[in-house]
Amino acid sequence: MDKIPVKVVWVKDINGKNHSSVMLAMEDIIGEIPSTNFASVKKFNSQYIDLISNCKNLLKNGKIKNKIRPSTYWQVGNNLLTFVETNELHYKFKNYRVAFQRDLDLTDSYVGVIMDFPKSFKEEEVSDSIPMSYYFELILKARALDEKHILKKEKERLKELSDTKKLPDHKTYRKILKERLDA
């Protein structure tokens, strides 16, 4: 079975308000339109709208002192990643990062990082006492740290620095990680 090419676009309603909608990615269909199950695309659209609504609620309600908790970002990232992985067997989701960025009002790099968050950290490894900027730095370097077999050690060190109230500022932490990778 061929994957159904879909993409998320914004469409205006009669009041001029933008809404997300899943459409067939017609530029990928050459010649005849395959016998696509349109009910399947409609179901995908409904699941996408539910995903975005759920993630927006998490982001809205997952704050401490007007900052979104790292555990909230982990949950959102896990939801996005699970959605993509669950649907990739049947759909060729053309623009999911752009759609998530637009619909959740996040930058492209943040969408990438929060989708990598559950790949790099188990939920129980995430502490809300560590600002997200530190996780951001560690996640960006996770693959390289893992290749050097020091990712687990760096995660433990980050937690220890937080527990002992010895976290350097996140730019210094970035330099420390770079030095560890260069060693």
pLDDT tens-place string over residues 77-122: 999 999 999 888 777 777 889 899 999 999 999 999 999 999 999 9
* Residue 30 in this model has a pLDDT that exceeds 70: no
Domain-embedded: residue 28: yes
Domain-embedded: residue 115: no
Domain-embedded: residue 117: no
Compute the distance between CA of residue 21 and CA of residue 121 in angstroms, rounded to an integer: 32
Domain-embedded: residue 118: no
Domain-embedded: residue 18: yes
DSSP state of 169: P
Show Cβ contacts of residue 65 under 8 Å, excluding neighbours closer than 6 positions.
Answer: none
Domain-embedded: residue 67: yes
Domain-embedded: residue 59: yes
Enumerate helices (H) and strands (E) in the chain, giving the number of each.
8, 5
Task: Provide the β-strand partners of residue 4.
Answer: 91
Q: Residue 26: its pLDDT value, please?
A: 54
Query: How many domains are contained in the chain?
Result: 1
Higher pLDDT, 178 or 37: 178
Q: Residue 142: its pLDDT value, please?
A: 95
Domain-embedded: residue 160: no
Give residue 14's domain range. Answer: 1-104
Q: What are the E-state strand segments in 1-112?
A: 4-12, 18-24, 63-64, 67-68, 91-93
Compute the distance between CA of residue 156 and CA of residue 162 in angstroms, rounded to an integer: 10
Specify the range with the lowest mean pLDDT, choosing from 15-19, 52-56, 60-64: 15-19
Q: How many CB atoms lie within 10 A of CB 62?
A: 18
* Residue 163 in this model has a pLDDT that exceeds 60: yes
Average pLDDT in the 12-29 region?
66
181 with 145: CB under 8 angstroms? yes
Q: Residue 55: its pLDDT value, please?
A: 96
Compute the distance between CA of residue 125 and CA of residue 39 in angstroms, rounded to an integer: 40
